[in-house]
Amino acid sequence: MKYSLLVMTLNEIDGMKSILPRVKREWCDQILVIDGGSTDGTVEWAKKNGYEVYVQKRKGFRHAYTEALPLITGDVVITFSPDGNSIPELIPALKEKIAAGYDMVIASRYFGNAKSEDDDLVTSFGNWLFTNTINFLHGGNYTDAMVIFRAYHKSIIKDLELERDKWYSTPEKLFRTEISWEPLLSVRAAKAKLRITEIPGDEPPRIGGERKLKIVKWGAAYYFQILREKFFWKPVRRCERTLSFPRKRESRSPFSRG
Ligand SMILES: Nc1nc2c(ncn2[C@@H]2O[C@H](COP(=O)(O)OP(=O)(O)OP(=O)(O)O)[C@@H](O)[C@H]2O)c(=O)[nH]1
Ligand SMILES: [Mg+2]
């Protein structure tokens, strides 16, 4: 199994300098820095230090992922924030769970003893609300459905149709913003009954730079998406993952119908 680490950057020079040297090159087969148009030297620093860099063309977090898709050489992606929020030393633990047969592994900020030092009252309530709504409406069992730091099989991106504009355009138009795909990934992975697990993953505070999170607009767009999923999209496509890891009868995935 090959692993690609996707390092998401938008003006993250301080975090990059401090965090990336802690990522051992042998942990992943590919380290791909996906940049949203940094002007603080992030791209130059990454290239100088030998990292593969892709600068996205369209604005917005999800376009970073979709545009980079053809460049990803791994079977498994690990999405990573180099702003200090993701602890690099947890990468081997994420890989271990994937190797054990899980489709997706989340470094949860709220599982076991884990804690977030980056949260404020609003973000901790928001994460709780979104995660619990996803569990309630879509049968998830998450403690953290929102975090970027997670590993999953690349094949589920297409199985869950995460790369298709049509699943984002209405909330993005309504709330005039561009969103990411983590919440939709969590919703659809639960709906499709993929094999999901979590490990505790502390979230240290951000190192330098500025927060890009748009609390009100993203919150509204994500909540809209999560509610709408109750009525749209069914996991009817054939899912490679489900086929290669046949599950027990009682939890058979609807994918296997395909
Ligand atoms: N490629 C790309 N990276 C982005 C974009 N927006 C944010 N990022 C990076 O993604 C990572 C996560 O962004 P943050 O600003 O920390 O947003 P967040 O983690 O959701 O919010 P907080 O951690 O609560 O501040 C950071 O390393 C950002 O630099 C984008 O549009 N494109
Ligand atoms: Mg962050």
pLDDT of residue 213: 86
The CATH code of domain 3-257 reads: 3.90.550.10
> Counting atoms of ligand 1 from 1, which one is nearest the CA of 34?
1
Residue of 212, 213, 215 to mutate, ligand 1, most atoms within 8 A of C-beta: 212
Distance 47 CA to ligand 2 centre (A): 22
* Total-model pTM: 0.92
pLDDT of residue 240: 55
pLDDT of residue 89: 98
Distance 24 CA to ligand 1 centre (A): 22
Nearest to 149, CA basis, from 189, 107, 181: 107
The answer, yes or no, to whether any atom of ligand 1 lies below 6 A from the CB of 84, is no
DSSP the chain: --EEEEEEESS-HHHHHHHGGGS-GGG-SEEEEEES---SSHHHHHHHTT-EEEE-SSSSHHHHHHHHGGG---SEEEEE-TTTTS-GGGHHHHHHHHHTT-SEEEEETTSTT--BSS--HHHHHHHHHHHHHHHHHH----S-SS-S-EEEETHHHHHTTTT-GGGTHHHHHHTT----SHHHHHHHHHHTT--EEEEE--BPPP-SS-----HHHHHHHHHHHHHHTTTS----S--HHHHHSPPPGGG--GGGG-
pLDDT of residue 249: 36
pLDDT of residue 239: 55
User: Which residues of the chain have a pLDDT value below 70?
Assistant: 236-258
Rounded distance between C-alpha atoms, residue 145 and residue 249, angstroms: 26
> Counting atoms of ligand 1 from 1, which one is nearest the CA of 12?
29
Pairing between strand 30-35 and 104-108? Answer: unpaired
pLDDT, one tens digit per residue, over 202-215 is: 999 999 999 988 99
pLDDT, one tens digit per residue, over 101-142 is: 999 999 999 999 999 999 999 999 999 999 999 999 999 999
> Counting atoms of ligand 1 from 1, which one is nearest the CA of 82?
27
- Give the residue whose CA is nearest to atom 16 of ligand 1: 211
